[in-house]
Amino acid sequence: MAGVQEMALGIASTLRSGIAPNPLPVELWGHAPEDAAQLLKYIVEECVDASIALREIRADPVIVHELTGSKSECGVKLRDVPISADPGCRGRIESYSEPSNLD
């Protein structure tokens, strides 16, 4: 099984390919919230390092709360990428790319 860094690299590669759906959903059922939060961090890092422009990431509020350490937090920015807690994303992360990356 791939680790979270390898998963993030694969997600970033998919976003860069230009054939990924926008948003790109990543189902996280069965993953601990701390692992999902770490994956979200790695996705942002891989995308920013590879100059893949992310407009925003929406995630299960449990994941965002794990990321921020605050139950009252509804969102945060990581490396200038807005991360939003979205109850509609129960059990998943959705990465929204900038249209310019879909050449």
Instruction: Give the pLDDT of residue 72.
Output: 66
Does the reported pTM lie above 0.85? yes
Strands in 1-103 per DSSP E = 24-27, 54-59, 75-78, 81-85, 92-97
Of the listed ranges 11-15, 25-29, 38-42, 68-72, the one predicted with least confidence = 68-72
Sheet strand arrangement including 92-97:
24-27, 92-97, 54-59, 81-85, 75-78
- The residues spanned by each domain of the chain are 4-98
> Which CA distances in Å does 25 have to 30, 69, 71, 96?
15, 23, 23, 9
Short-list 80, 89, 95, CA closest to 22: 95
State the Cα–Cα distance between residues 58 and 18, nearest whole angstrom.
20
